[in-house]
Amino acid sequence: MAQAWLDGIHIDTAALALLKEENITKLVKLRMELGVSTTVISSPKQLANVLYTQWGLPILDRTEKGAPSTSKDALHKLAIYAPEDDRIMKLLEMRRCKTIQGKYVEAVEKSIAHHGSNVTHPQPQAGGTYTSRLTYSSKQGKGKSEVQTGIALHQWSRDKRVRAELTPPPGYLLGEWDFSGQEMRLMADASQDETMLSLFLQGIDSHAYMGASIKELDWHWVHNEQDNDPAAKQARYLGKFANLSLQYRIGVATIRIRALTQYGLNLSEAEATLIRSKYATTYPGVLQYWVDSIQKAGRLGYAETRGGHRIKLDDMSEYSLQQTAINFPIQGTGGDMKLLALAVLKNHFPELGVHFAWDLHDALFLYIPDDSRAVKTARFIEHTLSNLPYEKAWGWRPAVPLPVDGKLGKSWGSLKSYKD
């Protein structure tokens, strides 16, 4: 496994150059359309002047010192307040372009310059999060001695153009094995909600089911027609948003912001309230889990994962600690699953010629030899990860299957299922 880290992550410099060109072109276009300079995005004072003085928008959020806020959340609230004003979304897009330029272009270029090659070396940090998921350090040194040795891999964008930069070493394919619906499946197990358990045990499309509930449609129709009928596709998309966003107790305001920022859905307050209500009536066991997990953490003084990983919680009157009591047993178990997966797989790495690449969210990434056995190797890994020895390792028998989906490719941005 160490050899893969000596090889590092290879950068496709052509993909990097294309991303840089496209991003600069888009940034210039947005700047001209809005009539503002790119420096405005980086200056809260200048941005506040544009938003609240020049454009006359209402102040919906303030900083701790009382100044008009220009934070990402403040812009999202403005976008929700005035959905017909496309200037706000364009400002958000400008901010995104600046992020791409700094984090996914310039930082990568600095790493290449430091190493003198198109290989970057992000260093995994096992204790970077309380859920056991890895974070990655991208720099070493401080001040003038600081150097860009790697990239912030744990913050990498979902944009395929950005992901296309990252490739395996020569002679290898990059493989991704994603724990399918991991957190929702773990919530079904933890909450024992009858509907959620039934969906997974019967192999029912949970997003179609939830979306049908929101839109009062037949879930079979939503599932069967999602690729043919826009109404079915939209219903399932709403169901996916609800299933993946509401299981950790969030309010209507947060629902609206998350819908806009992560799913491109500008929901009205009434629509967000309806979705929250439908989620509660569809999965009442999840709401009871929230209550039970907070009470349990209050009694024990900690929350615990299925793998026995604990986090101390000493004041359950604090809302943030209540949220941790709800989130940690689910997200922390997901992190434990990744560590167990590596512990099991590492014994097969030498015979398979496989190397660890990185860990991100619900997925493991590995380098596998690009030869005639690649698909067979990928299927073996998928089978192994879909049947981890939870009972033997932790004394836990999951109430629902915990399958893994696999993909292979020459870059992170071009991964495809090997089942196709």
Q: Given a cut of 90, is residue 220 above it in pLDDT?
A: yes
What's the rounded Cα separation, in Å, for the pair 330 and 306?
A: 9
The span from the CA of 77 to the CA of 73, in Å, is 6
**Cα separations in angstroms, 155 against 137, 260, 412:** 11, 20, 14
Q: Please give the pLDDT value at position 5.
A: 45
Q: Could you give the CA distance from residue 166 to residue 136 in angstroms, rounded to a whole number?
A: 15
Average pLDDT, the chain: 93
CB 248 within 8 A of CB 323: yes
* Token code pair at residue 137: 């350090």
Helices assigned H by DSSP within 154-201: 160-163, 182-191, 194-201
Q: Give this prediction's pTM.
A: 0.90
% of the chain residues with pLDDT over 90: 82
pLDDT score of 3: 45
Instruction: Give the Cβ contact number of residue 172 at 10 Å.
Output: 23
- Closest of 179, 172, 112, 183 to residue 148, by C-alpha: 112
Cα torsion through 140, 361, 322, 325, rounded to 10: -110
Q: Would you report the helix, strand and coil content of the chain in percent, each value rounded to 5?
A: 55, 15, 30
pLDDT of 190 higher than 50? yes
Token pair 């997974």 is found at 200
Identify the band that residue 343 occupies on the pLDDT scale cut at 50, 70 and 90.
very high
Q: What is the DSSP letter of 62?
A: B
Structure tokens at 320: 């943030």
The rounded distance, in Å, linking the Cα atoms of 400 and 413 is 31
Which class is domain 2-167? mainly alpha
**pLDDT grade for 168, boundaries at 50, 70 and 90:** very high
Look at residues 141, 148, 143, 50 and name the one whose alpha carbon lies nearest to residue 95: 50
232-287 pLDDT, tens digit each: 999 999 999 999 999 999 999 999 999 988 888 989 999 999 999 999 999 999 99
What pLDDT is attached to residue 420? Answer: 65
Domain assignments of the chain as residue spans, ordered by start: 2-167, 194-282
